[in-house]
Every structure is written in structure tokens, then in C-alpha cells.
């Protein structure tokens, strides 16, 4: 679990790269927990300037490229 107070260190550095304030907590949690991948179908999020610092994957990409399994397209696929 990541507490909101832990995000302060990221806000100064990345606040201008995340255009939707609702997405900031997800991005900061990604950094705080040192994730390898950020799996999402949110196309708007993956096209922000933040993509240079976050390893975004669609669910299909994650299943195929990371897990090495056969993926399939869904309605919301990137």
C-alpha cells in the first residue's frame, strides 16, 4: 500500500508531465513501488509526456511480451 504522503518527492519532478490530475496518483505509485511495467488500456495516459519515464504496456502486450503467453484483442485494447 502506498500512502499519499509518499508522493511529494515525485510531484515536483513529474507534475508537469501528467496532464490529468486524476492520473497523478497512479503514476507516483508506479515510481514509489519501483514497478517494471504499468499495464493500462488508457490511451490518453500512455500518450502523455510521462511515457518517456514509465514503461507502459497494454494488457495484450504484457501477456505476450512479458509473460510469453498468447494474447487476444479486447474491445478496449490499445
The domain tally of the chain equals: 1
pLDDT by 10s per residue, the chain, length 78 = 777 788 888 888 888 888 888 888 899 999 999 999 999 999 888 888 889 999 999 998 999 999 999 887 766 654
Indicate the burial class of 13 (C-beta count within 10 angstroms; 0-12, 13-18, 19 or more). Answer: exposed
Domain membership flag for residue 74: no
Domain membership flag for residue 71: no
pTM of the model: 0.80
Domain membership flag for residue 45: yes
Task: Write down how long the chain is.
Answer: 78
Q: Which residues contact 21 (CB under 8 A, 6 or more apart)?
A: none
Domain membership flag for residue 44: yes
Domain membership flag for residue 8: yes
What pLDDT shows up at residue 38?
A: 96
What pLDDT shows up at residue 7?
A: 84
Amino acid at each position: 500500500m502506498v500512502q499519499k504522503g509518499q508522493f511529494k518527492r515525485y510531484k515536483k519532478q513529474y507534475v508537469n508531465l501528467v496532464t490529468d490530475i486524476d492520473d497523478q496518483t497512479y503514476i507516483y505509485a508506479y515510481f514509489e513501488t519501483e514497478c517494471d511495467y504499468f499495464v493500462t488500456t488508457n490511451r490518453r495516459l500512455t500518450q502523455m509526456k510521462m511515457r518517456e519515464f514509465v514503461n507502459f504496456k497494454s494488457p495484450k502486450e504484457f501477456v505476450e511480451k512479458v509473460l510469453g503467453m498468447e494474447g487476444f484483442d479486447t474491445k478496449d485494447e490499445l
